């Protein structure tokens, strides 16, 4: 029952706001949304005790589709409960932040309705008992994201970004759906637990269907978690309002990772390995791109891609604890970073180019502290959570004696540290105008404070076992690996600090060196040239070629019939048939009858 409430409350909140929100005040709507998400969080938290006793809880609403296993049912175990808590908690705080941040907005009804819908959809992804319901959750979240990203679509970029979010998300969903159905045709159920059992039973002897299904599911996960080459929607989505960015980068982007975590026992090993490889290469590449960005929002978005890549590595390696840990830790610190950066942008006149900042340390004391904590976490410096998660992933890679992947993880950690510290240094440490306009916003501060505390303390909390997110802590790693992780983080941080302590202008040479990575390693151009343009061309050709020729053919038939009709009309009867016709007709009849009469 409680389990149902966890998912139902966000949906009810969304529907309620969408239906009756027009009559409520702006802050009331926001309050409702926060209350709803907080209630959901509370409901989830209340299950902690129960899950200490039992391995999992289930709740069934009723039958859904006429397909085995496709019921409206939820299931939760302790690891997914942790993810649930992270999603509800972080999103509640982001909603709280939004109340002040978007105080001037006219369309808060739509905003908060979509917000709650997105959270509800993601909760379905975490808690659904079967794959089809999971896909439905992903799709709902995707559509909510579309609405949210398009929220301020007065300008072209946001509308483009929203469309991109929708379509790439849909590609992922379609792949996952197809994968789910391939699994269904093979194992005759879509229930995730049953599928796991069936896959275990059949082992590798089940033929090609599990492989096809696994590949499709991986494609879906890649699209949903913004991994290369389907990552292009996430950097674009930063055109959205700050809280939306935060929500996308902490909650929505984890969809693919959650999928991999839940389906781990179903996917074939090779595909899991591929997931790790995709995640690792994305992690390194995106971190490099993040370093090169000038727009603060893009820096954060690219480093999100990188961090999620690490999650994929962990999930692919089967290190579920590390995945979970990284997921939650990242949700906390990335929320801090994005929201703090948003607060800065809100009160700072000018663009979001990092060059426009500087000298904000004094006027925005508390924001700086929060951003600092976030940076610490992203950099992977203890005691913040990031350190533990990177270490856990590295040790997971190493324990499978995958040296290359270990190195990749460490490199990504170092690059993340560089990117984080670079941003912090440029925005707050370096000199600048230090001007701020606009009022202060207490709710923003509260939200930031709670998130920052979480980001700071989460790792420690888990490691002393207060939160039941499962076993397998980082201390299983050899000590030198911990040291190496730490060293990578320190090197990255110190290097960034040295280069950028005087601001971005002073670091012109370093910036020049990284210009090649700024455009996102050419993926956008590749898409434009390799997919969008051919596709548009195909559409044009179909319209001009096939459809028009079909039309012409039909018109041609019509014209032909019309011509022959006119020709006949000139000649045919109506009293003008001469008697010769009679004679000729009689002769023909005679001839025919004589011929057939023999």
Near other proteins in 3-42, by CB under 8 A: 18, 22
Residues numbered 452-471 forming contacts with other proteins, rule: CB under 8 A? none
Query: Is residue 200 close enough to count as binding other proteins by CB under 8 A?
Result: no
Nearer to other proteins, 107 or 529 (CB): 107
Does 111 help bind other proteins (rule: CB under 8 A)? no
Q: 55 or 569, CB closer to other proteins? A: 569
Instruction: Give kind and range of the element (H or E) at residue 71.
Output: strand 71-77
Q: Specify the residue for token string 């343009």.
A: 533
Q: Could you tell me the smallest distance in angstroms from the CB atom of residue 568 to other proteins?
A: 4
**198-204-208-214 Cα dihedral, nearest 10 degrees:** 70
**What part of residues 51-110 is at the interface with other proteins (CB under 8 A)?**
63-67, 70, 72, 106-107, 109-110
Phi, psi (5° rounding) for residue 10? -60, -40
- The minimum distance between CB 534 and other proteins, in angstroms, equals 12
Query: Least CB distance from residue 90 to other proteins, whole Å?
Result: 23
CB of 349 to other proteins, least distance (A): 22
Q: At its nearest, how many Å lie between other proteins and the CB of residue 159? A: 5
- Of 167, 193, 347, 495, the one binding other proteins (CB under 8 A) is 167
Rank residues 198 and 394 by Cβ distance to other proteins and give the closer one. 198
Pick the piece of the chain touching other proteins (CB under 8 A) from 32-40, 278-286, 480-488, 586-594: 586-594
Q: Which is nearer to other proteins, 213 or 394 (CB)?
A: 213
Nearer to other proteins, 505 or 589 (CB): 589
Q: Can you tell me the distance from the alpha carbon of 505 to that of 564, in angstroms, rounded to the nearest whole number?
A: 80
Beta bridge partner(s), residue 62: 72
Q: Smallest gap, in angstroms, from Cβ of residue 561 to other proteins?
A: 6
Cβ proximity of 364 and 347 under 8 Å = yes
Could you say which of 1, 53, 55, 154 contacts other proteins (CB under 8 A)? 154
Rounded distance between C-alpha atoms, residue 444 and residue 56, angstroms: 36
Residues facing residue 77 across a β-bridge: 56
Whose tokens are 């009293």? That residue is 575
Please tell me whether the peptide bond between 7 and the residue prior to it is cis, using omega within 30 degrees of 0: no
- Is the CB of 159 or the CB of 369 nearer to other proteins? 159
- Classified as helix, coil or strand, 63 is strand
Q: What does the per-residue mask of binding to other proteins show for 542-581, with x meaning CB under 8 A?
A: xx--xx--xx--x---x--xx-xxx-xx--xxxx-xxx-x
By CB under 8 A, name the one of 269, 438, 539, 556 that touches other proteins. 539
Q: Which of 4, 8, 159, 355 binds other proteins (CB under 8 A)?
A: 159
Among 256, 332, 341, smallest CA distance to 300 is for 341
Cβ atoms within 10 Å of 591's Cβ, excluding its own: 10
Interface residue with other proteins, options 476, 540, 545, 556 (CB under 8 A) = 540
Give the whole-angstrom CA distance, residue 574 versus residue 585: 17
Distances (CA, A) of 187 to 142, 154, 179, 183, 213: 28, 48, 12, 6, 11
DSSP 8-state class, residue 433: -
Stretch that binds other proteins, among 133-141, 286-294, 370-378, 389-397 (CB under 8 A): 133-141
Stretch of 161-169, 230-238, 350-358, 477-485 lying at the interface with other proteins (CB under 8 A): 161-169
Contact region with other proteins (CB under 8 A), list: 258-266, 352-360, 424-432, 533-541 = 533-541
User: Quick count: other Cβ atoms within 10 Å of Cβ 286?
Assistant: 32
Nearest 5°: the CA angle 232, 234, 236 is 75
d(CA 391, CA 208): 36
Beta carbon of residue 589, minimum distance to other proteins (angstroms, whole number): 4
| Angle value at C-alpha 305, between 352 and 119, nearest 5 degrees | 90
For the beta carbon of residue 363, count every other beta carbon within 10 angstroms.
14
In the complex, least distance from residue 248 CB atom to other proteins, rounded to whole angstroms: 17
User: What residues are paired with 58 via a beta bridge?
Assistant: 75
Write down the least CB distance from residue 438 to other proteins, Å: 23
* Nearest CB to other proteins, comparing residues 236 and 444: 236
Task: Please identify, using beta-carbon distances, which residue of 63 and 478 lies nearer to other proteins.
Answer: 63
Count how many residues are written for the chain.
598
* d(C-alpha 335, C-alpha 338), whole Å: 5
- What is the SS3 assignment for 504-561? CCCCHHHHHHCHHHCCCCCHHHHHHHHHHHHHHHHHHHHHHHHHHHHHHHHHHHHHHH
Please choose, out of 250-258, 330-338, 438-446, 584-592, the segment that lies near other proteins by the rule CB under 8 A. 584-592
Rule CB under 8 A: choose which of 90, 132, 261, 331 binds other proteins: 132
One DSSP character per residue, 33-93 reads HHHHHHHHHHHHHTTHHHHHHSSEEEEEEEE-SSSTT-EEEEEEEHHHHHHHHHHHHHHHH
In order of 90, 111, 138, 225, 234, the CA distances from 158 in angstroms are 24, 15, 21, 20, 12
Give just the sign of the alpha carbon dihedral 548, 552, 553, 555: positive
The CB-of-447 to other proteins minimum distance in angstroms stands at 26
Identify which of residues 212 and 487 has a Cβ nearer to other proteins in the complex. Answer: 212
Provide, rounded to whole angstroms, the least separation between the CB of residue 170 and other proteins.
4
CB of 151 to other proteins, least distance (A): 8
The answer to whether residue 592 forms part of the interface with other proteins (CB under 8 A) is: yes
DSSP label of 226: T
Binding to other proteins (CB under 8 A) within 411-450 occurs at: none
- Say if CB 395 and CB 477 are below 8 A apart: yes
Residue number, 112 or 146, with CB nearest to other proteins: 146
Residues in binding contact with other proteins, number by CB under 8 A: 81
Shortest distance (Å) from residue 227 CB to other proteins? 18
How far apart are CB 558 and other proteins at their closest, in Å?
8
Q: How far is the CB of 138 from other proteins (least distance, A)?
A: 8
DSSP 295: B
Residue 240 binding other proteins, by CB under 8 A: no
Q: Which residues within the stretch 332-391 sit at the binding site for other proteins (CB under 8 A)?
A: none
């Amino acid at each position: 029952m409680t389990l149902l409430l966890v998912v139902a409350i966000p949906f009810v909140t969304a529907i309620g706001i969408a239906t009756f929100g027009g009559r409520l005040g702006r802050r009331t709507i926001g309050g409702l949304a926060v209350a709803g998400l907080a209630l959901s969080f509370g409901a989830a938290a209340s299950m902690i005790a129960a899950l200490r006793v039992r391995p999992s809880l289930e709740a069934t609403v009723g039958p859904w589709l006429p397909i085995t296993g496709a019921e409206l049912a939820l299931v939760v175990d302790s690891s997914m409960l942790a993810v649930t808590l992270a999603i509800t908690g972080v999103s509640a705080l982001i909603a709280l932040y939004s109340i002040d941040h978007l105080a001037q907005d006219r369309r808060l009804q739509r905003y908060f309705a979509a917000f709650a819908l997105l959270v509800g959809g993601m909760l379905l992804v975490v808690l659904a008992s079967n794959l089809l319901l999971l896909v439905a959750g992903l799709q709902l979240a995707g559509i909510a994201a579309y609405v949210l990203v398009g929220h301020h679509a007065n300008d072209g970029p946001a509308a483009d970004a929203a469309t991109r979010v929708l379509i790439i998300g849909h590609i992922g969903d379609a792949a996952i759906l197809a994968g789910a159905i391939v699994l269904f045709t093979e194992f005759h159920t879509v229930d995730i637990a049953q599928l796991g059992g069936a896959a275990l039973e059949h082992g590798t002897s089940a033929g090609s269907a599990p492989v096809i299904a696994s590949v499709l599911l991986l494609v879906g996960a890649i699209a949903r978690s913004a991994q290369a080459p389907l990552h292009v929607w996430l950097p674009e989505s930063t055109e959205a309002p700050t809280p939306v960015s935060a929500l996308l980068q902490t909650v929505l982007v984890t969809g693919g990772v959650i999928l991999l975590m839940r389906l781990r026992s179903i996917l074939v090993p090779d595909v899991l390995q591929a997931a790790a490889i995709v995640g690792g290469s994305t992690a390194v590449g995106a971190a490099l791109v993040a370093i090169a960005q000038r727009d603060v929002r893009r820096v954060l978005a690219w480093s999100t891609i990188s961090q999620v890549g690490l999650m994929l590595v962990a999930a692919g390696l089967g290190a579920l604890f590390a995945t979970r840990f990284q997921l939650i830790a990242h949700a906390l610190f990335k929320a801090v970073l994005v929201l703090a950066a948003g607060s800065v942008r809100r009160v700072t006149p000018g663009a979001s180019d990092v060059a426009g900042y500087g000298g904000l340390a004094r006027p925005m004391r508390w924001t700086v502290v929060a951003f600092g904590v976030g940076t610490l976490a992203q950099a992977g410096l203890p005691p913040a959570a990031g350190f533990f998660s990177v270490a856990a992933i590295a040790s997971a890679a190493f324990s499978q004696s995958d040296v290359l992947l270990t190195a990749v993880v460490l490199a990504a950690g170092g690059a993340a540290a560089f990117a984080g510290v670079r941003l912090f240094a440029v925005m707050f440490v370096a000199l600048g105008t230090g001007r701020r306009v606009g009022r202060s916003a207490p709710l923003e501060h509260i939200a930031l404070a709670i998130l920052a505390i979480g980001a700071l303390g989460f790792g420690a909390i888990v490691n002393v076992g207060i939160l039941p997110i499962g076993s397998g802590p980082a201390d299983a790693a050899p000590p030198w690996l911990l040291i190496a992780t730490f060293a990578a983080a320190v090197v990255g941080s110190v290097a960034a600090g040295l280069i950028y302590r005087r601001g971005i202008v002073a670091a012109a040479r370093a910036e020049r060196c990284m210009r090649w990575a700024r455009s996102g390693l050419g993926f956008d151009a590749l898409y434009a040239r390799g997919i969008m343009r051919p596709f548009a061309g195909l559409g044009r050709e179909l319209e001009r070629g096939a459809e028009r020729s079909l039309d012409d053919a039909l018109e041609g038939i019509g014209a032909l019939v019309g011509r022959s009709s006119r020709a006949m009309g000139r000649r045919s009867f109506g009293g003008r048939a001469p008697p010769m016709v009679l004679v000729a007709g009689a002769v023909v009849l005679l001839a025919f009858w004589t011929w057939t009469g023999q």
